[in-house]
Chains A and B, each alone.
Chain A
Amino acid sequence: MIDIVGTLRRGGRELIAHIDFPLLLITLAIMGVGLATVNSATWDSSHRMVSQAGNMGIAMVVMWFVSRLPPQKLMNFAIPLYVIGLVLLACVFLFGIKVNGARRWLPLGFVRIQPAEIMKIAMPLMLAWYFHKYEAVLKMKHYAIASLLLLVPFAMIAKQPDLGTALLVGAVGFYVIFFAGLPWKVIIGLIVAGAAAAPLLWHALHDYQQKRILTLIDPTTDPLGTGYHIIQSIIAIGSGGSFGKGYLNGTQTHLEFIPEKHTDFIFAVYSEEWGLLGNALLLFLYTLLIGRGLMIASGAPTLFSRLLAGAITLGFFTYAFINMGMVSGILPVVGVPLPFMSYGGTALVTLFVGIGVLMSIQTHRMLVKK
């Protein structure tokens, strides 16, 4: 009897051995808010809350598995994942399905996958592994090669076009290079060069992307076209006021004025119903999440785990910032979901792979030191 209890206890302890509870609690809190908001956003029509809860369950199982993989094992995934990602991206070019003018999906039998999603994880993994491998002999050329490793998939994704994902992949990759010690003068040089190249970049953008940026500057120029989404979501946020209109009472939400309200624009739904107070709470939760991630990065024992943890954490930040920025009208609409809030299984799984990696780094740190 005692033995069984002891075994169970040990087994239980083993089950949760690689869970980082602060990180878990923070993500659970954000997901709770997200679940409630998905419920409100789909209240009148599709009722997605249960299905989103299911997505969360699956994603957390994935997280649990990932968290149990020690960083050394994770390193082994770096090259295969990156190569698979590249191959699939190339396949998208050749066999991809066009949806709404963008070739993002690859049909695999009965499911369709977005290979770009893989790159969100594969990219930091690959670059962290690369810098880790050349840690002792790091020279400028390694930064250049790393940049190449970053730019190829970035360009492929941007060309689909999927600017949102390209930006995220690019950002996460850049964070790795940044944390790996890219000299400040290079960073500053890049910023200056970027500013100078902006007009060229502008012409490289698709018409609809240009239009989105233009309407961001003045949404009222096209109130019924591209400006409509931004205007309606700003109205939703602004009309929420200090304390919001109350749960399920958002008129912009429930009268269908907010576009993509359970996915990309879910923040407008939340903001309308919970007001500035709710927004402050959400920003606080994200700050906690990022703070915890940076702490994990700071305490990580190897360069690989440090770079990976730092990049993934800032990846979360980038998601959140771009999404809230675009929904509130200070950034162009680029199709980035709000992490742990927006409806959607794929994005959640990717996010939780990231969380799982952070947990793995945190919980395997002592083992490494040993």
Chain B
Amino acid sequence: MVHFTNPEADVDRFRFRLGVAAICVLLAFGILFGRFFWLQIIQHDFYLTRAEDNRIALIPIVPNRGVITDRNGVVMAHNYSAFTLEITPSQTASVEETIDALAELIDIQAKDRKRFKRLLDEAKNFESIPIRTRLTDTEVAKFAAHRYRFPGVEVKARLFRQYPLGTIASHAVGYIGRITDRDLKWIEDSEKQGNYKGTDHVGKTGLEQHYEFELHGETGYEEVEIDSGGRALRSLKRIPPVPGNNLTLTLDAKLQEITEQAFGDRKGALVAIDPTTGGILALVSTPTYDPNLFVDGITPDNWKELNEHPSRPMVNRAINGAYPPGSTFKPFMALAALEMGKRTPHQAISDPGFFTFGNHTFRDDKKGGHGMVDMYKSIVESCDTYYYVLANDMGIDNISRFMGSLGLGQRTGVDLGKDDSGESKGVLPSPEWKKQRFKKQEQQKWYAGETISIGIGQGYNAYTPIQLAQATATIANNGVMFRPHLVRHIIETGTGEKRQVEPKPIRDLQWKQSNIDVIRRAMVGVNKEGTGARAFAGAPYEAAGKTGTAQVYSLKGGQYKESSTRKDLRDHALFIAYAPADKPKIALAVLVENGGFGAQSAAPIARMVIDYYLLGKLPGGAAPEDSAAVEEEHEE
């Protein structure tokens, strides 16, 4: 290309190119402006939210857990403030070095480090995490003197759960522990996860679990401005937490204590109910455990010991143990017969000491029989033959219908544990039950012979002590039935308002008063002249009762000899009672595992409990085993 440079043309070309450049500049700036418009106008809300999310951290403030007191105001579960040593990781250069340096000053054990590590994994870095809990005053003072050496470390007051009564009523109160994945699922299913931010403990069993969402309270929040490093700069807003609601129990802590002492070192359960309300006065399962062990995270050794101990202290026998009711079943059978018109009170049978059905002989405990036996005598003397015949006459359907109406073989819905997971159903035998229980067809059929041992509370019968207590309370209360419950009212912390938990009866069985009176007279007779007479000798009140013995070891034709049987194969002793008979204030069911006969070990416990509850009489220690009663029951 040949070209003479023409200055004028060159300048024009240059200016044209300048123009092109200017247009490009304007175009580029236009694109930038478009981008700004998009970000700052159209997407503004989105980015504003993002900026706020960046800037603000919500730090939950965990509410104080509700306090549990007994009917008289005795504290059974409360919180106490203790000093903890806490580290905020984001304000510490090296967490490891800090802990090592702290360990020279304050006792920090391997388990503390372990817990800290676990918490560190879960926590956000602006939260402070405890490295040591329950500092002593000396330790607090020691740290205070060296505080300048430890940026990001501080002593904080935290609340801890405490059960001042220790092992007493632990099966009723339950305990709290660290939230596990399973607990988390429960909380999420209940759509409470928002309220549990920052909470690290949850009710694990008993009342603590059942009333978890009452006791917990509402979590408060502190809105804190944080920088990009997660350091909290200032508080923007604080919504205080609402403490959990307090529970006032129907339980009498002193009665509970006396009852537990009465058991001594025997395994068993007792449920005492106010029959007019269904309020549980005492709920005992022995042996017990100390719930305080769980609060700060139970040590593996303790956990192992509690779970692997042969006497199974963690099992709540009162609601989880299902036992054959033995002869305590008889008053209910008798009432069923009266209500269904299968017997009149005075209708008597002649008892030869056995009952033959088909080619099987059902024996009575008393050799040679009780002679002529009417309903009164059948209960007072606990005559088996009477009930063999009666059961055969009534048939299994009638029996199971009546017992079902008394709540036997069903969960009572007592306010313990989560939903009904903590409570056993027991077994109310019926042809339908058998069909469901057994897989093989030949096992599913109900044999008429099976009905006969049902009549004396043996066979497939298996009920929890709380079911027996509820049934006894229902008889005591003339057929008006309440759901057994431990909480009398919930006190709203905000308003102080008392919310009654169970004010209404769940059903009125509408028995004939004359029928109930027959049973009452007979049960009073038990404690006056029958199997309970020795235990209730000299009682200044009239108590209705019935002894029972549940077979652990099936006797294959042999004679049961208490002395020759290993202790853990001895029969379970049972006793049901209510008093005063004319105006019942307390109804109860006692079970002593391997206690032998009911009169021998269960009835004396019942006597102590009723004596204290009605008379305020304080016993000293465990109830005696009445060896004389053994002889007497052998006579049955």
> Which residues of A are at the interface with B, using a C-beta cutoff of 8 A?
135-136, 138-140, 175, 178-179, 181, 232, 234-242, 251-252, 255-257, 271, 275-276, 279-280, 283, 286-287, 290-291, 294, 297-298, 303, 306, 310, 314, 317, 321, 324-325, 328-330
Contacts and interface: CB of A to CB of B under 8 A. Distances in A.
Interface in B228-269: 228-229, 233
B569 interface: no
Nearest to B17: A179
B560 interface: no
Contacts of B51: 235-236, 238-239, 251-252, 257
Contacts of B47: 234-235, 237-239
Contacts of A255: 54-55, 225-228, 233
A135 B3 CA distance: 11
A181 B41 contact: no
Given A283-B33, A310-B21, A321-B29, A251 B55 contact: yes
Nearest to B47: A238
Of B5, B39, B44, B48, most A-chain CB atoms within 10 Å: B39
Nearest to A251: B55
10 contacts: A139-B1, A175-B21, A235-B50, A238-B46, A241-B44, A252-B55, A280-B33, A283-B29, A310-B21, A325-B32
B44 A238 contact: yes
B40 A241 contact: yes
Nearest to B32: A324
Nearest to B15: A298
Given A234-B39, A252-B54, A283-B33, A239 B44 contact: yes
Contact of B29 (A256, A287, A303, A310): A287
A271 B22 CA distance: 25
Nearest to A310: B18
Nearest to A325: B32
B497 to A, nearest CB: 43
Contacts of A135: 5, 10
Contacts of B55: 251-252, 255, 257
A275 B18 contact: no
Contacts of B46: 238
A297 B18 contact: yes
Nearest to A140: B1
Interface of B: 1, 3, 5, 10-11, 13-15, 17-18, 21-22, 25-26, 28-29, 31-33, 35-37, 39-41, 43-44, 46-48, 50-52, 54-55, 225-229, 233
A287 B26 CA distance: 8
The 3 closest A-B pairs by CB, nearest first: A238-B47, A239-B51, A238-B39
Nearest to B226: A255
Contact of B39 (A136, A325, A328): A328
A271 B36 contact: yes
Given A283-B29, A283-B33, A298-B18, A238 B5 contact: no
Given A179-B18, A234-B47, A279 B13 contact: no
Contacts of B14: 179, 181, 298, 306, 310
- Secondary structure at the A interface, as helix, strand, loop or mixed, is helix
Nearest to A297: B18
Nearest to B44: A241
A314 B22 CA distance: 9
B561 to A, nearest CB: 78
B10 to A, nearest CB: 7
A279 B37 CA distance: 10
Nearest to A183: B1
B225 A239 contact: no
Given A232-B54, A238-B44, 11 more contacts: A235-B54, A239-B48, A241-B40, A255-B225, A279-B40, A280-B33, A290-B22, A290-B25, A291-B22, A294-B22, A310-B18
A235 B229 CA distance: 17
B41 A276 contact: yes
A181 B10 contact: yes
A136 to B, nearest CB: 5
A251 B33 CA distance: 23
Contact of B31 (A291, A310, A330): A330
A328 B36 CA distance: 7
A140 B3 CA distance: 11
B21 A257 contact: no
Nearest to A309: B18
A178 B14 CA distance: 9
Of A238, A240, A317, A321, most B-chain CB atoms within 10 Å: A238
A274 B106 CA distance: 52
B54 A257 contact: yes
A238 B18 contact: no
A234 B35 CA distance: 10
Nearest to B28: A321
A256 B229 contact: yes
B29 A286 contact: yes
Contacts of B228: 232, 255-257
A238 B37 CA distance: 9
B466 to A, nearest CB: 56
Contacts of B17: 178-179, 181, 310
Nearest to B34: A330
Contacts of A297: 18
Given A238-B50, A298-B15, A321 B39 contact: no
Of B15, B21, B28, most A-chain CB atoms within 10 Å: B21
B197 to A, nearest CB: 22
Given A283-B33, A328-B35, A276 B10 contact: no
B40 A237 contact: yes
Contacts of A140: 1
A256 B29 CA distance: 28
